[in-house]
């Protein structure tokens, strides 16, 4: 009987450790920042292994940043209402160019 109680106690202890480990792991993997954060990374484009361009919104302002081995540098501030112009439509894919080329040689009735 005492052996059974010890086994149940050890099992409960292991389940508690597993639960604590999973909780800690999920907290570590949670997205950085919070809903109350006033800093938002809008986009990041790598330029090489150690350099990147970043768009960051701080409060209501959008900043263009350069990132390198020496740290971050503010390159500029984008005007309010950015982007003001509609983005250009994407260029046709290779498949689109191929279809266009195929229809050029055909005669329409």
The token pair at 38 is 């006033």
Condensed to tens digits (0 to 9), the pLDDT of residues 44-56 reads 899 888 899 988 8
Helix (H/G/I), strand (E/B), else coil: 55:
strand
Whole-number pLDDT of residue 27: 76
Q: How far is CA 82 from the centre of its chain?
A: 20
Q: Residue 98 has what pLDDT?
A: 74
Q: Contact 77/63 with Cβ under 8 angstroms?
A: yes
pTM for this entry: 0.42
More confident residue, 91 or 41: 41
Phi, psi torsion values for 51, nearest 5 degrees: -130, 150
């Amino acid at each position: 009987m005492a052996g059974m109680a010890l086994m149940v106690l050890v099992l409960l202890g292991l389940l508690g450790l597993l639960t604590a480990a999973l909780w800690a792991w999920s907290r570590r993997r949670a997205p950085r920042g919070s809903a109350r954060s006033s800093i938002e990374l809008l986009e990041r484009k790598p330029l090489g292994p150690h350099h990147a361009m970043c768009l960051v919104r701080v409060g209501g302002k959008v900043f263009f940043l350069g990132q390198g081995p020496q740290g971050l540098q503010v390159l500029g501030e984008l005007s309010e209402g950015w982007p003001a112009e509609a983005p250009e439509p994407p260029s046709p894919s290779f498949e689109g160019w191929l279809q266009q080329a195929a229809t050029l040689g055909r005669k329409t009735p």
